[in-house]
Amino acid sequence: MEGIPGRKGWVSYGLCTPNFQGPDGLPVFRYVAAVEVRESGRAPLGLIEFTVPSQTYARFTHEGHISEIGKTIDAVWNTWLPESGLEPTHGFEFERYDERWDEETSIGPVDIYVPVKA
C-alpha cells in the first residue's frame, strides 16, 4: 500500500461496501483494503477507487488479536446497537488501522465505524 500514488498519511482501512451485488444480482459481502488519497483520479491497474460519503458513525474499538474481531462486531450488532436506540444505515462500515496497530503481531486497537442515522 505504500506505493499507491497520492496516498495521504499512513492509516489504512478495511471497508465493507454497501449494497454490492454479485453477477447473479444477489447481495454480496465485499471487503476492500483501502487507503485515503489526496485527490481522486485514475486508480492504477489492479486497484479500484471510490468515495466514502460523509455521514454519522458510531465508533467502537476492538482490543487484542485481529482473529477475535468477529466477536467485537457481533457484540456491536447484537447487543450495543439494539440497546442504543440508534438505527444503522446502509452506508460503508469500516475498520481503521492507525499507528496503534502492530502489523507484525496483528494485535492492537482497531476502530470499527458503523453508519447510523443522525
Mean pLDDT of the chain: 91
The CATH T-level fold of domain 7-115 is: Multidrug-efflux Transporter 1 Regulator Bmrr; Chain A (3.20.80)
- Residue 95, classified by CB atoms within 10 Å of its CB into exposed (0-12), middle (13-18) or buried (19+), is buried
Confidence check: pLDDT of 15 > 90:
yes
Average pLDDT over residues 36-44: 86
pLDDT band at 1 (very low <50, low <70, confident <90, very high): confident
Structural domain boundaries in the chain: 7-115
Q: Which helix (H) or strand (E) holds 61?
A: strand 57-62
pLDDT band at 81 (very low <50, low <70, confident <90, very high): very high
Pull the grid cell for residue 45: 491497474
State the Cα–Cα distance between residues 80 and 86, nearest whole angstrom: 9
State the Cα–Cα distance between residues 58 and 50, nearest whole angstrom: 22
Check: CB of residue 112 under 8 Å from CB of residue 82.
no
Strands of the sheet with 110-115, listed across from one edge: 31-37, 7-16, 93-97, 110-115, 57-62
